[in-house]
A and B are shown apart, each in its own frame.
Chain A
Amino acid sequence: MKIVMEQKKDSKPLTKQSNIEKENKPVALNIKKLNIYYGDNHAVKDVSFSIEKNAVTALIGPSGCGKSTFLRSINRMNDLIPGARSTGGIIYEDVNLIGDDINVVALRKEIGMVFQKPNPFPKSIYNNITHALKFNGIRSKKKLDVIVEESLRKAALWDEVKDRLHESALSLSGGQQQRLCIARTLAMKPSILLLDEPASALDPISNAKIEDLIMELKKEYTIIIVTHNMHQASRISDKTAFFLNGVLVEFDQTDKIFTNPSKKDTEDYITGRFG
């Protein structure tokens, strides 16, 4: 009997970046003609590209270029900003994430986010992680213990805090707090991690630890990271998207962007001529 091979889902190339889609890597998010507005301000303009599964995608560009706005629209954090609205599509599996019918609470469990400034809850290290799990009805102490250890190990924090799990999270250093925030997000077992300049408020050593961690995490998670640090983007990401004035100027393999960008704006930006 002949095995009928499943037809590869080769979506129609939407933009010039079609060469990437031809590699046929599994796609985590497919962004189609996304527009985001804050009141009259058109912050993200007609952005289309797809984000690969289990890879690190870096979003770079000068301040105010729309990269953070784009990142925040993926797990609908922009809903918290009055006057924000969006059109187009962010296709995740079989749903459009910008639809009004999305349960944003459930969405944010699958697509977790870590912010620039570490924001641990004023609770113990242990409770910072169990906090959201308890909302999901996980009450068994045993189960919680397992998830706490697992998440802290994944965030490379376990060895540093295993003896002081019940001390206040605010007693940790900035870098440790940020890894705790990552652990807290991982505990929800997300499939995509959104990182909004996660290392920019940290010292170089903590910064390096976060980068190592990201390299480790991409085996299991799709990671999208906003960064102002060009070296960081070139070190850790597989794909890089360069935003300027709300427009996606160029999206390609990170190597290509940093060695041989096809647009002049991209080259100017990464060589430090503006931004």
Chain B
Amino acid sequence: MDNKTMTASQRLLKKSNKSLLQMELRGKSIVLISALIIITATISITIFLGTKGLQAFFNNGVSLYEFLTSTNWNPTNAESPAYGAVPFIVGSFAVTFLSALIAAPLGIGGAIFMTEIAPSWGKKILQPVIELLVGIPSVVYGFIGLSVLVPFLRDSVGGQGFSLLAGMIVLSIMILPTVTSIATDAMSSLPKGLRESSYAIGATRWQTIWRVLIPAAMPTLLTAVVLGMARAFGEALAVQMVIGNVRTLPSAITDPSATLTTIITLNMGHTTFGSVENNVLWSLALILLAMSFIFIILIRYLSSRRQF
């Protein structure tokens, strides 16, 4: 039947096009189910971590105050176990901020080089380098750190070599690709006219980059740094291999330290599920989750301030 012999009700009414509508419905259901699975997975992980992480305080009588303020961590002492997580919280924040301190200027600098200074060959060389850095697994970073960086630091700056400094260097290289690629997107998505009009009123290239382009791209550049920090905060393996993993609060950048993630990976194997020590590790994990929420909120806030 072609269109001419069909009546309008045959051509246009919903009931006469059933098979087409069914296909629509099927497609809609597939994507809806995918979305629901993702949402359920995230919510159940959050609920699980929430209940497990709080058990130590509500069921095992660990003091939340002690957990968040004491620097004494000794859960295996049978007589008076101590659960002060401050050294690891401090360690996590210290390596995160220190590595961001290195990666932010390097990454943003590289992005500016690629977009503003040498867009043709700069991009041809730097882009694959950055992609390569993403592809290297974290155990390899840790292994290189352990066998090259740690001995080098031991010989050149003293101490054991295993230190906050080693963790910061390894992490800063690991988060460099994240920072660089997002910063590159930020710079190249700026309107072309912004650049031209700055040159047209007699600004030099440096003045244009420094006073017009960077301020205009600032919210996205900060997003790049925050995403890098989120990655650094959650990284476990590579950091664990070079940071030394001690329970004490570091007093210098060359001191060994530990982070929330390294303590969890080190101890989860030899604690029994449900024991106090195991529950306290879940509490550490809950802190990690809370921090990642904070990072997400920060990124959302920053992207709401994007101007271009």
**A contacts, CB < 8 Å to B:** 75, 77, 80, 82, 105-109, 112-115, 117, 119, 121-123, 131-132, 135-136, 170, 181, 184-185, 188
Residues of B192-248 at the interface with A, using a CB-CB cut-off of 8 Å, are 193-204, 207, 211-212, 215-216
Given A82-B120, A121-B212, A132:B199 Cβ within 8 A: no
Q: How far is the CA of A123 from the CA of B198 in the complex (A)?
A: 13
B194's partner among A113, A121, A184 (CB-CB below 8 A) is A121
**Cβ of A119 and Cβ of B191 under 8 Å apart?**
yes
Q: How far is the CA of A75 from the CA of B197 in the complex (A)?
A: 12
**Cβ of A135 and Cβ of B199 under 8 Å apart?**
no
Given A115-B193, A117-B193, A170-B307, A123:B203 Cβ within 8 A: no
B202's partner among A122, A123, A132, A181 (CB-CB below 8 A) is A132
Give the shortest distance, in Å, between B304 (CB) and chain A (any CB).
15
Residue among A75, A109, A132 with most chain B CB within 10 A:
A132
**Cβ of A105 and Cβ of B202 under 8 Å apart?**
yes
The residue of chain A having its C-beta at the shortest distance from the C-beta of B193 within the complex is A119
**B contacts, CB < 8 Å to A:** 120, 191, 193-204, 207, 211-212, 215-216, 307-308
| 21 pairs, A vs B, C-beta closer than 8 Å | A77-B199, A80-B196, A105-B202, A105-B204, A106-B202, A107-B202, A108-B201, A113-B197, A115-B196, A119-B191, A119-B197, A121-B215, A122-B215, A122-B308, A131-B201, A131-B211, A131-B212, A135-B204, A135-B211, A184-B201, A185-B201
Q: How far is the CA of A112 from the CA of B72 in the complex (A)?
A: 67
B307's partner among A114, A122, A131, A184 (CB-CB below 8 A) is A122
B200's partner among A77, A82, A117, A123 (CB-CB below 8 A) is A77
Give the shortest distance, in Å, between B188 (CB) and chain A (any CB).
15
Q: How far is the CA of A173 from the CA of B104 in the complex (A)?
A: 36
The residue of chain B having its C-beta at the shortest distance from the C-beta of A76 within the complex is B199
**Chain B contacts of A123 at CB under 8 A?**
215
**Cβ of B200 and Cβ of A75 under 8 Å apart?**
yes
Beyond the given A108-B201, A181-B197, could you list 14 further A-B residue pairs with CB under 8 A, ordered by the A residue number? A77-B200, A112-B202, A114-B200, A115-B193, A119-B194, A121-B198, A131-B212, A135-B202, A135-B204, A135-B207, A184-B197, A184-B201, A185-B200, A188-B201
**Cβ of B196 and Cβ of A77 under 8 Å apart?**
yes
Q: How far is the CA of A121 from the CA of B194 in the complex (A)?
A: 7
**Cβ of B216 and Cβ of A108 under 8 Å apart?**
no
Query: Which 10 pairs from chain A and chain B are nearest by CB?
Result: A109-B202, A119-B193, A113-B200, A108-B202, A119-B197, A132-B201, A122-B307, A122-B216, A105-B204, A135-B207
**Chain A contacts of B120 at CB under 8 A?**
82
The residue of chain A having its C-beta at the shortest distance from the C-beta of B190 within the complex is A122
The residue of chain A having its C-beta at the shortest distance from the C-beta of B201 within the complex is A132
Give the shortest distance, in Å, between B121 (CB) and chain A (any CB).
12
The residue of chain A having its C-beta at the shortest distance from the C-beta of B194 within the complex is A119
**Chain A contacts of B197 at CB under 8 A?**
113, 115, 119, 121, 181, 184
The residue of chain B having its C-beta at the shortest distance from the C-beta of A181 within the complex is B197
Q: How far is the CA of A170 from the CA of B207 in the complex (A)?
A: 21
Q: How far is the CA of A123 from the CA of B216 in the complex (A)?
A: 9
Q: How far is the CA of A25 from the CA of B120 in the complex (A)?
A: 46
The residue of chain A having its C-beta at the shortest distance from the C-beta of B217 within the complex is A122
**Cβ of A115 and Cβ of B200 under 8 Å apart?**
yes
**Chain A contacts of B212 at CB under 8 A?**
121, 131
**Chain A contacts of B308 at CB under 8 A?**
122
The residue of chain A having its C-beta at the shortest distance from the C-beta of B207 within the complex is A135
**Chain B contacts of A117 at CB under 8 A?**
191, 193
Give the shortest distance, in Å, between B217 (CB) and chain A (any CB).
9
**Chain B contacts of A77 at CB under 8 A?**
196, 199-200
Give the shortest distance, in Å, between A265 (CB) and chain B (any CB).
31
Q: How far is the CA of A83 from the CA of B216 in the complex (A)?
A: 28
Given A135-B207, A170-B307, A188:B202 Cβ within 8 A: yes
**Chain B contacts of A80 at CB under 8 A?**
195-196, 199
**Cβ of A105 and Cβ of B203 under 8 Å apart?**
yes
**Chain A contacts of B195 at CB under 8 A?**
80
Give the shortest distance, in Å, between A54 (CB) and chain B (any CB).
21
